[in-house]
Structure formats: structure tokens, C-alpha cells
A = this chain, B = another copy of it.
Amino acid sequence: MGAFETSSPAVAPKLLPRLSEQYLSLRSNGQRLIETLESACAWGNTPDGGMNRLACNDDDGKVRQWFIDETKKCGCEIKIDAMGNMFAIRPGQNNNLPPIGIGSHLDTQPTGGKYDGILGVTSGIEVLQTLHANNITTYAPLAIINWTNEEGARFPPAMLASGVWGGAFTTEYGHGRTDQNGVTLKQELERIGFLGKTPCSFEANPLSAHFELHIEQGPMLDAAEFPVAVVRGVQSIRWYSIDIVGREAHTGTTPMDRRSDALLGAAKMIVEANRFVTEGDLAARGARATIAVIESGPGSINTIAGKVRLNLDIRAPTDLDVALVEELCRARFHEICEEQGLTMDIDHFWTSPALHFDPTMVQCVRESANKAGCQMELVSGAGHDSVYTSLKVPTAMMFVRCRDGVSHNPAEYSRPEDCAAGAEVLLGAYLRYDNYLRTLNEPAKA
């Protein structure tokens, strides 16, 4: 499953205060949203209709300038922090409150699409433009956010900069991440002019809450024929780097039974990791294991591979199942090394535990989604910046249907009417939480 349909809420939802007529009458503009999305894809798009905008490259620098121009038109002031995270802040009636954030990311995979992350930021801009066009000043300030390097495709790990803001990583760690050419994230932020002065942390630059709209990147909505889903949480994720060492030898003269073939061992690990999550209970419970990166040396057709590096990605709705898949892989991989005469080193370098979003925030999304006729509730199969904002502030997400659940691919596509429905649900959820904050802080007026 791309995401996991869930049973009824874990906690009974709080009853939300009734939304004012003024708020209820607001409508976003789907046509404008699509135009904004297209202009956000003017840099880094590829001939096959996809996107290749790795974090902090020149195209990322250009779309960041575009983000500043667009949000300033709606009366926003721009804050950029030490990780290059961008906050376009529109004042509210009570500016003693930190802003309610609506955020996602503008970076993409090397073979990515136009919706992953970009639809979230542009939907936030659509909310901003709707408020601006209708001269609405919300109770709390609003911050539209572009989080840096969400994909982690150029600077692993993923969700790096929201992770620093949420306290999962230090700024030093974030700055020190390097790409394949050994260039650091800090160097590239400086080069494109987006190494900001605001410290990157909740404490130095707080929010009241964080909403994120994202494409599902899975097939559930497509199958159920809903445009939008409430996201209740995010599955558990762990990443590993595995180094396998065998022995280089001549392919023509080395007996099959006297080889230490690191690539053969790696191949067996790839097959076994796949088997663990495609058979039995783990498959039924939606566990996933993927090896998508392999490097093999010395890379000569008649010399048996002596060194192989793999990256392993394990996910499941629960931390327990991820740990179980890891355990199965470790045990079997060690057996394979025994059988093949190999040595192995497994580096577990990143963890993102299973997550349940804030019940009140989820209820805001739920009411707004239900009003739009969308009943589906899911658990995300992918990590998102909201995983890290949830460490500090009430957070919730909504998913927009994408065709065949295809993502991280140039063929990634969401219909305009689904994007529009998503923006509408986002607007309603945001307004409900803004209204909730008003009643919290000014019970008298409630």
C-alpha cells in the first residue's frame, strides 16, 4: 500500500468551534493554483515533462527568488534561516502568536515530477492569495514555508532542514552534509545566496502549528476514487548503508566454488530483502524493503567484484515491523556472507519513527475534507517535513490523489480538479485551526 487506510481516530476528536460565515464563504481559485504550479516549475524541468531540481543547485536558487517575489505581492515579509528554510510571513490580528505554518518543499528528485512538494508550497501560496484577494486578516499570522533539501537526493538524509528546525539534527550536521562531489550544503547555500541569518530552530523562529498538503505518492486515493485524504500519521522509516567485501579474481579461471563474489552476495541480499516484505504477515502489514543504490568495484568485466556498497530503505506502519525487517535482513545477510566468503559492515544511519499527528489539527483537516465529500483517512508511506515539525508543534497533513500512485518519476501527475480540491481542503483546515486559536486565546469573544 502506498499509504495505509486506518480505523477510527485513536482519540475522540475535540469539538471545534463553529467557523464564522466570513471564513465559510472563502473559496480558493483552482485555475490560479495551476498557473502558480506551472510557474514554480519554470526552472529545472526536463524534456520528459518531469523535474530535476536538486537542493541548492542554480535552478533551486531561481525558484527561491520566485517564491520571494510571489509571496511579497501578498504582503509577506521573508525570513530565511541558517539552513535556507524560507518563511513568507503574513501578519495576523494577534502578532504575539507565532504564525501558523503551511509548508512543503521546492526541491525534487533527479528524476522527479512537478507535484511532489511543489504542489504543497503552491497550495500554501494559493491560501495566501485567497486571503489577500479577500482582504482577510486572520487571527494568527500565517507563514508559507519552503523547507530546504526535503528529498535528500543530493544531500542525504531526507527532510534535513526541517529536521534541524525540529531539533532532530544540529545546524552543524546539516551544514556539513555533502553531495557526490564532496560539496557541502552550507557551501551551496552560500553560493546561491540563501544562507540566512535567522537561527534554524523552533525556539529562535517558532510556529503555532504546521499544515502540509502533499500528493499521496501511492495508489490508495486513485483506487478509492477520492481527490483528497486526511493523513493521520507517517510510517516508520530506517535507512542503512551496507559495505560488502569479497576478493577480486579472474572470471575465467577462478572455480565457481572458490570465489568470494561481492556482487553475487549483494544480489542475494537484494532478492532476500525483497522476499521478506513480499511474503506472509509483513507483506500483509504493509512493510517495505528497497535497495535502490548499488556501487560495485573494480568494474572490469573479467574481474570478479571485490567491493560492493548498497543502500537499504526499510519502512512499515509500525516501528516494531521495521525493526523486525531489519532483524531478518541482518541475520540473512550474515548467512549470505558466510556462504559466499564475504565480510560486511552495516551502517544504520537514519531513523524516522512512526508518527501520529495532533488530534485537533487532524480534526481540522477531517472537517474540511468531509465538507468536500472526502472520507478517506490514511497513514503516509513517505516521510515529509511534517514529521519533524510535529516534534515541536501541532501538525497535520492532507494527501491529493496522484495518477496510478506514481511519484519520483517524470510521469507523476495530479489532475487540476484534484489539486484544486486539495487547496480547498487546506484552506478550510487552516481557517479552522486559526479560528480554534482565536477561541483559545480570546474565550470571551468566542
Q: A409 and B252 in contact (CB under 8 A), knowing A270-B267, A271-B264, A311-B301? A: no
Kindly identify which residue among B251, B278, B303, B382 contacts A111, using a CB–CB cutoff of 8 Å: B303
Chain B CB within 8 A of A406 CB:
yes
The 5 listed contacts between A and B (C-beta, < 8 Å) are A3-B253, A111-B303, A158-B302, A218-B254, A292-B301
A256-B288, A264-B271, A266-B267 known; A250-B217 Cβ under 8 A: yes
Contact of A293 among B111, B235, B288, B299 (CB under 8 A): B299
A258-B2 Cα distance, complex, nearest whole Å: 10
A286 to chain B, nearest CB (A): 8
Please pick, from B237, B247, B251, B268, the residue contacting A292 in the complex, using a CB distance under 8 A.
B251
Q: Which of A110, A247, A300 has the most CB of B within 10 A?
A: A300
| Interface membership of A68, Cβ < 8 A | no
Residue of B nearest to A286 (CB): B255
Instruction: Say yes or no for A124: interface residue by CB 8 A criterion.
Output: no
Residues of B near A217 (CB, < 8 A) are 250, 252-254
| A1 partner residues in chain B, CB cutoff 8 A | 255
Mask of A222-242 contacts with B, CB within 8 angstroms, 1/0:
000000000000010101000
Q: Among the listed B268, B288, B299, which residue makes an inter-chain contact with A251, where contact means beta carbons less than 8 Å apart?
A: B288
> Which size bracket describes the interface of A in this complex?
35 or more
**Is there a chain B Cβ closer than 8 Å to A291's Cβ?**
yes
List the B side residues contacting A248 at CB < 8 Å. 109, 111, 408-409
A405-B253 in contact given A263-B270, A302-B152 (Cβ < 8 Å): yes
In the bound complex, how far is the Cα of B260 from the Cα of A183, in angstroms?
A: 32
Q: Is the CB of B294 within 8 A of A254?
A: no
| CA A256 to CA B302, docked complex, whole Å | 34
> Any chain B CB within 8 A of the CB of A368?
no
Give CA–CA (A268, B253) in the complex, Å.
24
A269 to chain B, nearest CB (A): 8
